[in-house]
A and B are shown apart, each in its own frame.
Chain A
């Protein structure tokens, strides 16, 4: 008991310190009547402006690189890699943009880059580790489908929405964008307009662009993705479109739900659980220039976080090793890696807009998820590294890991 009291006092003291740190006065809130959907805009912080500027510069760099050699992460239609053109065709209706992850046990696939940028060297190599990364994020037992609409080239998302479902009492399973805690799903949407969805009680929450309803003793919600600091959608769904889709949702015999009439052009890109399993049998290569820049190459099996989960307004579809891949400055759910003493610089990329972070991610045919996470490295370079990955034998992999095998555990990410 006294231990608890002592700890509670420490927590109070720590949080009080946070409250006395240099927090500035409230910034200006500006109304903008020209955009009915977003009537109020926040004043963007200088830091965010800098971050946006970095992204813009990166986009220009990518564009220039594309004009030069056609290998950009954001190619125009004319400059697509040949396989990009092949992959940019719309998939069969109802089929996911990315293949489903097939569970498999054992790190069968080992990849190493043939291209390492000048000045960079291998910092360390670890794995396969059966129990790593294995961590999870988020919470709850609900399920969320992510749907997006791609542009005419099939490489750039222009709009999106989510369909989520979970137990009716919400408990840990709030459908997407529920912001109020209550014991049933619909009362969670305070001041929402009561509607009927497919004969079931539902609500329309304007401020969340969400249609929520109860069906078969479950709570469901379709949320039109709103713009946020990770990007601005080129298109937005209307209330009528969202409700029409909600009316078309049917329950399948296995207890999941199917959207039978998505708005034309939208496709399912990811199905994720509320608690994200980042994967098993992690194997990881980390390279650095010794000056705070670097990248990791992370392979995991059995991931519950497919690439489509990160297909937001900033992401682009590219081709890597014959597979459809995403390149993005914001990776949903992370790569499953963690930073420690030796590769602390990689964690600097976790803050959007703060440093030049970029990611490339795809699924290999055997469902191994490959993620390249770069900080302070040109996205086009990261993509070039990704495309240089080739299969290596277990013996060759052992040669990569051997030099860092005896590093102190505390220095290595994902080390227990």
Chain B
């Protein structure tokens, strides 16, 4: 990987960033879109966009997160994954593991609620940071967070 990117200090720094963030970025995307293969595609695309802007980025982690969330949202809009029951059945259809009941329940949530949960409980972001990553207001994050937990409580009861 490293050798094929542009030479120079910036490139070395990007390589380190890429290697260090790859697994977590895929896991985040997978938790949002529900598919390992799509998650890797989206993560690659996100890193490519980070690479394209690398020299001018002040906060690459935040930028990577925002781009990745935007790509996940775009993917879900282009597919039926966001439809109510489709996502919940997706994994077993494709032979991927259905982790547990909580996992399946989160995949039935709409994009924003799903993303808020992933960023809050996997990335350990604060609600203002989540708002930044998703490009929405703090109040929107709070309400999405509240609704997501309420719905999960109902489904997992």
Contact = CB atoms under 8 A, between A and B. Distances in A.
Interface of A: 3-4, 7-8, 10-19, 21-31, 39-43, 45, 47-48, 133, 135, 137-139, 169-172, 174, 177-183, 188, 190-191, 207, 228-230, 276, 330-340, 344-345, 347-352, 354, 413
A332 B136 contact: no
B93 A170 contact: no
Contact of B23 (A11, A23, A170, A340): A23
Contacts of A139: 110-112
Contacts of A26: 1, 18-19, 22, 47
Nearest to B26: A23
Interface in B40-65: 40-41, 44-45, 47-49, 51-53, 56-57, 63
Contacts of A12: 121-122
A30 B4 contact: yes
Contacts of A331: 80
A146 to B, nearest CB: 12
B147 interface: no
A276 B76 CA distance: 12
Contacts of A23: 22-23, 26-27, 30, 36, 40
A24 B18 CA distance: 13
Given A347-B89, A351-B94, A11 B117 contact: yes
Interface residues on B, range: 35 or more
A181 B102 CA distance: 28
Given A347-B86, A354-B94, A21 B122 contact: no
B5 to A, nearest CB: 6
Nearest to B81: A350
Given A42-B44, A334-B83, A348 B51 contact: no
B106 A31 contact: no
Interface of B: 1, 4-6, 18-19, 22-24, 26-27, 30-31, 35-38, 40-41, 44-45, 47-49, 51-53, 56-57, 63, 66-67, 70, 73, 76-86, 89-90, 92-94, 97, 99-100, 102-103, 106, 110-112, 117-118, 121-122, 131-137, 140, 149, 152-153, 156
A208 B1 CA distance: 25
A140 to B, nearest CB: 8
Given A31-B5, A45-B37, A340-B85, A179 B70 contact: yes
Contacts of B78: 230, 330, 332-333, 352
Nearest to A341: B89
A384 B52 CA distance: 45
Contacts of B89: 339-340, 344, 347
B93 A345 contact: yes
